[in-house]
Amino acid sequence: MQCGKSALCKDKSLDLHVLAVDGTTFRSQDTPENREAFGFISQTHQVYPQLRMVALNSTHSRMLLGAAFDRCDVGEITLAKRLLIDIPDDSLTLFDRCYFSADLLLYWQQFGVNSHWLTPVKQGMRYEVIEHFSENDLLIEMPVSPQFRANNPNQPDVWQARMICYQHPKGDIKGFITSLTDPETSPMETLLSIYWERWEIEQGFGELESSQLNNEITLRSRFPQGG
């Protein structure tokens, strides 16, 4: 890693800032104001109102670079789109598989300067192999959804990504896809090692809960403005 005084550090082999996006929820005090503002995860067991957060972290320093908050019924992809303005140049952002969305990932790649992404393969993902870089290193093409195409007429009908995979004994494809499609500048071995850094954001959430929230499981404020 190359680190200066900034919270951002570059991976030497890729010369990119390695980041991660993930979400969590926080319980709030059970007051009428919080109930109305945040809602409930379960409509059957309405124990505590909860608000959702999706955060952008540096995997090396675990520093929070950006965060989006909303009601618990607002999806993580919706909140992740609000982090586009926080993307630094020359970056690789690691996403969980629940963020697999052409709507999010294409805009993530296009919004910043040299902004890339990596996410696990999603079960049932449709794709066509365009090129074999090696046995487990492929260039693939995927269709976008009709809804995405209707809402984004200037975007392509298909999008490409690189898939690094292996065949599970039961026949399931495991691995990840990424916008870093050049095997010369982004070797498979390097991406495999970086892939596991996505768990660093969970450590960052743990530090937030222990240091900022003093290990309390419920936020203190009885009103949304202080949540």
Averaged pLDDT, 211-224? 56
Question: 55 with 131: CB under 8 angstroms?
Answer: no
Amino acid at 181: T
| Rounded Cα–Cα distance for residues 108 and 134 (Å) | 27
- For residue 2, is it left (φ>0), alpha (ψ between -120 and 50) or beta? beta
Predicted local distance difference test score (pLDDT) of residue 158: 93
| Rounded Cα–Cα distance for residues 172 and 30 (Å) | 44
Predicted local distance difference test score (pLDDT) of residue 56: 93
Predicted local distance difference test score (pLDDT) of residue 112: 84
Predicted local distance difference test score (pLDDT) of residue 220: 55
Among 1-10, 73-82, 163-172, 188-197, where is mean pLDDT lowest?
A: 1-10
Choose among 43, 39, 4: nearest CA to 25.
Answer: 39
Question: 16 with 58: CB under 8 angstroms?
Answer: no
- Decide which of 85 and 196 is more confident: 85
Instruction: Show the domains of the chain with their CATH numbers.
Output: 2-226 (3.90.350)
> Coil, strand or helix: which one is 10?
strand
Token pair listed for 114: 């040299």
Predicted local distance difference test score (pLDDT) of residue 151: 86
Q: What pLDDT, in 10s, does the model give residues 83-101?
A: 999 999 999 999 999 999 9
Give 114's contacts (C-beta < 8 A, 6+ positions apart): 16, 89, 90, 91
Predicted local distance difference test score (pLDDT) of residue 2: 41
